[in-house]
Amino acid sequence: MAYVRVERQAPLARITIDRPEKLNALNAATIGELEQALAEVQAAPELRVIVLTGAGEKAFVAGADIAELSALDPIAGREYARRGQALLRALELSPKPVIAAINGHALGGGLELALACSVRLAAEHAKLGQPEVKLGLIPGYGGTQRLPRLIGAGRALELLLTGEPLTAAAALACGLVNAVTPAAELLPRAEALAAKMAANAPLATRLCLEAVRRGLEMNLEEALALESSLFALCCASSDMKEGTRAFLEKRAARFEGR
């Protein structure tokens, strides 16, 4: 792949968007390679957690490729948006946790990419925003939907309607990111967090992700019913038997994901 690198060190996988000369902007080719990379990692049972980052020190993803955007007509624009939405929905629905290590600017499609991840960590110098209105556009990869769900409608509308970015510290204060760290410590911290997640039962991790994602789209009674059903599935798993036995025997569990 020309624009995306996949590094595997089981149980962790690192996916890096690698167009630093273009600030890792998302063009059609990069979207296609991200689709391929995500599918490859999802198909590898030994890989349990994904860290997603950008190459270089300036940008996670600075946005979409403006040259491509400028050529869109309404029909092409809808297809452009729907393809990006499909990729980010697959990322959001990943059965394996995805940690965004935001190593620089995450603007436009870059912030939308981070919003689709399970957890977001940011370098101190990162800036995050949705500047599409400055180009006569609105976010097309889910930003108008995920951002208010994460930080509330009022704060999200302020960002969407001004197009102004947040500092990493401000993003932390409003809950847009989970933590802020010096740039040199970002990937080690992301990988340490990934290792903690990967040490847990893969089936329980997948079902926990499912419970939160689907439950947020339900009323509380429906969500509680979903939780009890997924809890019951855990009770039928070998991992649950192993986890409880290991706890009682005061030893580390050996989970197999079944």
Q: Which residues are known to be catalytic?
A: 112, 132
CA distance 188 to 167: 21
* Terminal Cα distance for the chain, rounded: 32
Strand pairing class (98-102; 49-54): parallel
Q: In what order do the strands lie in the sheet with 166-167?
A: 59-61, 105-107, 127-129, 166-167
Find how far residue 165's CA is from the centre of its chain: 19
Residue 195: half-sphere exposure toward Cβ, Cα within 13 Å: 7
Residue 20: partners with Cβ closer than 8 Å, 6 or more residues away? 54, 55, 56, 58, 59
Structure tokens, 116: 């689709």
Tokens of 124: 């101190």
Shortest CA distance to 160 belongs to which of 175, 142, 143?
Answer: 143
